Structure 1
Amino acid sequence: MKFCSVCGHEVSLSIPPGDNRERFVCGSCNTVHYQNPRNVVGTVPVWDDKVLLCRRAIEPRYGYWTLPAGFMEMDETTSEGASRETLEEAGARVEIQSLFSLLNVPHVHQVHIFYLARLLDIDVDPGEESLEVKLFEEHEIPWDEIAFPTVGQTLRFYFADRAAGNFTLHTGDIFRSLRDG
């Protein structure tokens, strides 16, 4: 950040009074510009024993498979965002069920939040950000073509919970891997 979004003057990094971290601070109007992680919200859309995945039509990870998810927008809840992203990316209408996974991804300043979701029908259609959408049984999942570590981890949680007959909330941290660059 170079300029204050309030008054347009240059900002500098400093620790504001009463804080313990460096922040961008405007020396002219004294506005402190906080930078916080972004929420990525999505679903694990299920139909019978199958999970709906999207093949990405955008970077990063063009052509790789993912759960429908994207950045949360202002004025929406996490579940509303997850439902919206599922409709936008997969053309899929879902009934949001329980919060399923919350994974911190500190190296990209994100938190990934996935809900279990029941597909209301299988009339799906890839949106602009998807090349195709497809329902997969567990043994059909293209594990080597999964776009992001959080998606792979969430799918592993889902299939383990399904096998155990008990779905629970999963949390954790995903750290930089060689594949992430």
Structure 2
Amino acid sequence: MGGGDWLRHVPDGDNRERLVCPDCGFINYQNPKIVVGAVASFEDRLLLCRRAINPRKGYWTIPAGYLENHESVEHGARREASEEACADLALDGLLAVYNIPRISQVQLIYRARLENPQSVAAGDETLEVMLVGWDEIPWDDLAFPSVHWALEHWRRVADQGIFPPFGNPEGATGDY
């Protein structure tokens, strides 16, 4: 790529404006980010992590984060649980695919079993972790709308072997 300023225009064969290098013609495609995560359970308890970073520092979430390059979505979901909660997960199905166009995200959330509950601990991006029963979930302190959706969707299929993945609840866009 050249050292010139990027130009915004519609490249040949495309149908929308892109950032294009005027020196070499490189097109800088900007596409949605993929978030991977899991609702992890052990017996009748769910794993929650209190965020140590922004956005929503101090709020509770499920272990989740951005998929890395050259990584499968399953590996990414297990890696995020390991990084955020020192948790080893066995994924047992894709729970949901959430679309959050406002922030250009697609979230792939799995249902998982926590394999090592005695080893769960806060990772670098987590203030604390906890295993909670359904009635102990801090609903008012959940970090994002999609965490609420994922927990509700998990409950609907917690005892089912096979289930189709959920999507956004009707009319929900993930806005606060």
TM-score (norm 1): 0.90
CA RMSD of aligned residues (A): 1.6
Give the distance between the partners of 2:158 and 2:25, measured in 1 at CA.
53
Give the distance between the partners of 2:91 and 2:52, measured in 1 at CA.
25
Pairwise CA distance, 1:70: 0.7
Q: Map of 1:38-77 to 2, 5 A cutoff?
A: 38-77=33-72
Letter paired with 2:134: E
Give the distance between the partners of 1:12 and 1:168, measured in 2 at CA.
43
Partner of 1:151: 147
Give the distance between the partners of 1:170 and 1:77, measured in 2 at CA.
20
Pairwise CA distance, 1:55: 0.5
Pair 1:93–1:37, CA change in 2 (3 A):
same
Letter paired with 1:128: D
Partner of 1:175: 173
User: Is the Cα–Cα contact under 8 Å of residues 25 and 31 in structure 1 kept in the other structure?
Assistant: yes
Partner of 1:106: 101
Partner of 1:30: 25
TM-score (norm 2): 0.92
> Which of 102, 116, 120 is the matching residue for 1:124?
120
Give the distance between the partners of 1:22 and 1:75, measured in 2 at CA.
27
Letter paired with 2:129: V
Letter paired with 1:147: A
Q: How many aligned residue pairs are there?
A: 173
Q: Unaligned stretches of 5+ in structure 2?
A: none
- Which whole-Å deviations, capped at 9, do the CAs of 1:107-152 have from their partners, x for residues lacking one? 1111111111111121201001111110111111110000001111
Letter paired with 2:154: Y
Q: Unaligned stretches of 5+ in structure 1?
A: 1-5
User: Is the Cα–Cα contact under 8 Å of residues 158 and 167 in structure 1 kept in the other structure?
Assistant: no
